[in-house]
Amino acid sequence: MTAASPAANSAATQRFSVVVVGAGPAGLTVGSILRAAGVDCLVLETGTRAFIERRPRAGVIEEWAVRGLERRGLARTLLERAQTHTECEFRFAGERYRFAYTELTGSHHYIYPQQFLVTDLVREYADVRGGEIRFGVRDVRLHGLESGRPSVSYLCPDSGERCVVDAGFVAGCDGARGVTRTALPPGRARVARHDYGLGWLALLAEAPPSCDCVVFGMHPRGFAGHMARSPEVTRYYLQCPPGDDPENWPHERVWAQLRERLGAAGAPPLKEGRLIERRVLDMHNYVVEPMAFGRLFLAGDAAHLTAPIAAKGLNLALHDAFLLGDGLVAALTKGDDTGLSGYSATCLARVWDYQEFSQWLSGLYHGTASGDPYRAGAALARLRRLFDSPVAARAFAEQYLGCRTTG
């Protein structure tokens, strides 16, 4: 929400060079880059520290993104603990097909649960680099973005008073349900949307992975996915109607459907376990263009959502954060605005590349169960091409790993 001027109750207004709204992977990475360069900044977060350090979401991180974290001193624990994956497996028409993407690209995936990454980033930003973070804030509002003297206000969780913070720049990193995106005045930004018209039941099972790689099952009953998260926890997905009620998916039905949709000749049986997360994600995407307005810069899901079809959202959030953090440091410490002026266009090139790949992959995943023989036939042709044509295989591998362009 935008307001012309904040009505503050707090006695003294504080000032920070950068106020970051949202302590997800994007916001914490921007904050950590700023602190490493000695830039003062404040992170505002609606959740508690315990909450954000336990919230499970992504797990597949592209190698260039981990190298980007490493270059900025943010990957030490990840590199010690993460698994690496070099292959994935497609299962369709009762058969399994291994796809060795590292052989084709020299690049691999890291498997590291998002909550572990957030835990590492909070520690680095706040405990190691001395960054300030206020948890539990309410009703965040942005003011005067075009004035050259923007400010951010919020309700303090302890006093209930509205506090005001003057900011040189505002980084809008508050995810898909945040408020910073709404500060872009209508007519100054375009929002492109796509709705896939289907849902995924996102599951976390207290069970070891059933396979040593990510598995995609294309089945007439719907897509199913298997993704390792840790030696004890595995993520599974089941395609379902959009808006479906997770209560429609009791334990027995979930495992019966996973067994059926991921079944293939010679496939090892699934290792079953208690379901510790069951939520329905409606598959939709959006892209906000441009990703900047005045002194506000959006990053991550605040600017663009990619349904987890291609496991790209966290990777894009990190790409934005690297560019934004580096651009803000250059502007604030050297007076060099080049990075910030090119920020939106550079981010959007990768965003649209990943959006298009998700769209393509959705056809491959969901065509078989579409009920439309034409789409089902096209999906099968798309799948077979990956194993018949070295050129198609390489193109897929590059897009799956995001290694065509570098971060």
175 near ligand FAD, judged by CB under 6 A: yes
Alpha-carbon gap, residue 179 to 2, rounded angstroms: 9
Alpha-carbon gap, residue 76 to 210, rounded angstroms: 28
- For residue 306, the minimal CB distance to ligand FAD (Å) is 7
Q: What's the distance, CA 122 to chain centroid? A: 17
H or E segment to which residue 194 belongs: strand 190-206
Q: How far apart are the first and last CA of the chain?
A: 32
Out of 74, 133, 152, 173, point to the residue binding ligand FAD (CB under 6 A): 173
228 near ligand FAD, judged by CB under 6 A: no
Alpha-carbon gap, residue 114 to 243, rounded angstroms: 25
Q: Tally Cβ neighbours within 10 Å of residue 79.
A: 13
Q: Judge whether 302 and 293 are in contact, CB under 8 Å.
A: no
Out of 19, 20, 21, 364, point to the residue binding ligand FAD (CB under 6 A): 21
Alpha-carbon gap, residue 64 to 163, rounded angstroms: 39
For ligand FAD, give the closer residue by CB, 27 or 150.
Answer: 27
Residue with tokens 């350090």: 53
Site for ligand FAD in 265-284 (CB under 6 A): 281
Stretch binding ligand FAD (CB under 6 A), from 23-31, 186-194, 337-345, 366-374: 23-31
> Contact letters (x/-) for ligand FAD, 85-114, by CB under 6 A?
-----------------------------x
For ligand FAD, give the closer residue by CB, 263 or 353.
Answer: 353
Tokens representing 305 are 């959502």
DSSP state of 270: P
For ligand FAD, give the closer residue by CB, 46 or 362.
Answer: 46
126 near ligand FAD, judged by CB under 6 A: no
Stretch binding ligand FAD (CB under 6 A), from 53-61, 69-77, 246-254, 357-365: 53-61
Q: What is the dihedral of CA 223, 226, 229, 232, to 10 degrees?
A: 130
57 near ligand FAD, judged by CB under 6 A: yes
402 near ligand FAD, judged by CB under 6 A: no
Provide the b/e sequence for 252-269 (b: ≥16 CB within 10 Å): eebbebbeebbbbeebee
Beta bridge partners of 88: 99, 214
For ligand FAD, give the closer residue by CB, 27 or 131.
Answer: 27
Out of 120, 289, 301, 326, point to the residue binding ligand FAD (CB under 6 A): 301
Stretch binding ligand FAD (CB under 6 A), from 34-42, 173-181, 345-353, 380-388: 173-181
Three-state SS at 111? strand
- For residue 233, the minimal CB distance to ligand FAD (Å) is 13
For ligand FAD, give the closer residue by CB, 25 or 199.
Answer: 25
With CA atoms as reference, report the closest residue to 36 among 1, 74, 10, 2: 74
172 near ligand FAD, judged by CB under 6 A: no
Interface ranges with ligand FAD (CB under 6 A):
21-27, 44-47, 52, 57-60, 114, 137, 140, 173-175, 177-179, 202, 281, 300-302, 308, 311-315, 317
